A = this chain, B = another copy of it.
């Protein structure tokens, strides 16, 4: 609240003028037409999982000494503690440094580079750490031809690199993902001739998932889809059984493919001139970055907020990193908090009742453009989820998007779940930017 009030006082005059200008018939029409176009792209996007390959081989601009992280780009000096640990751990895993302290030194010196996942058509949950040799799942958005990438989920442990934790167990597991699970998934997806992601998401919404913090049903459906093919691979039975147990236990596995689907669909929307629809909300624990369809890949940032959370036993807000991860792509895509009505168990885990699940979700109607054409919620008689966050509506109503998220410990590890809101600052800044674009266009 403090941040927003402060920002409000600065910007109230600016935004007032802004709306006056954007309220002209021609400006309104330009924006609305653009938004319709952007939403059509979202609804006609057909993200399909098509491959698993080492990051270096497929991610555009990936380099051996580059480590990708969640959120908007950030300098090494300002990077938050969990992400710092994750980046350093990945550097050791990649053989770029002998130890975590050595990695820290090389990172500070710029010998090892960092960049935002989102700058490389990639998304990553929590710290989002993605390095050269890690296997990434490749998603192709069929009608538009663009690709997105995400690393393979590390499994059910709360201690994993994604949460900024790095130790011998984490290291060994990363090797298993790289050498066994990644190739097994590659074999399966090729034998399957790819896997459409939207039908699994749509179905899982009828099975208690909101697909962000609760992707349980989707992960089960996914596991049952790939396992027959993995059984038929050349792997030893003991290794196949290990994979089967891993997929059974990793209830968040499909969440990563959901994120990649959201990334593929929203990347296709990016560059729709004059559109005020959000294409990306990403957090690095220090800042939240926003991207808007009409403003391409430009970042609009504000400070990352504290999460209103429910903590696992033994942890509290004092242990927590601020809002972190690219996973808010799910909310941008009409899932997570925007689909909470589909997941009363998730709302319940956050301290809410059935009515709160509906309320959370429906409060997003005021800041969105449409009901999702494919993502439907049983409890609302199969109405679509609210989708297409319009920065105009966010600034006008003061209602900030709800992000249903997990909480990382500052020293690494998962310590809870909660609800976060991105700062108003990003929305006001991006609205100013698009207003300027429109002013120029209208006056020409």
Contacts and interface: CB of A to CB of B under 8 A. Distances in A.
A345 interface: yes
A225 B247 CA distance: 10
Interface string A200-236: 0000001110000000110011011101110110000
Interface residues of A, number: 33
Contacts of A382: 348
Contact of A378 (B221, B227, B344, B380): B344
A241 interface: yes
A240 interface: yes
Contacts of A244: 224, 227-228, 231
A353 interface: yes
Given A217-B207, A220-B217, A237 B248 contact: no
A245 interface: yes
Contacts of A344: 206, 378-379
Interface string A38-72: 00000000000000000000000000000000000
18 contacts: A206-B208, A206-B344, A208-B208, A208-B217, A220-B221, A223-B224, A224-B224, A224-B247, A224-B248, A227-B244, A228-B241, A228-B248, A231-B240, A231-B241, A232-B241, A237-B237, A344-B379, A379-B379
Given A220-B220, A228-B241, A231-B244, 19 more contacts: A206-B344, A207-B208, A208-B217, A208-B378, A217-B217, A217-B220, A220-B224, A224-B224, A227-B227, A228-B244, A228-B248, A231-B241, A232-B237, A232-B241, A237-B237, A348-B381, A353-B381, A354-B378, A354-B379
8 closest Cβ contacts across the A-B interface? A344-B378, A224-B248, A228-B244, A220-B220, A207-B208, A231-B241, A207-B207, A206-B345
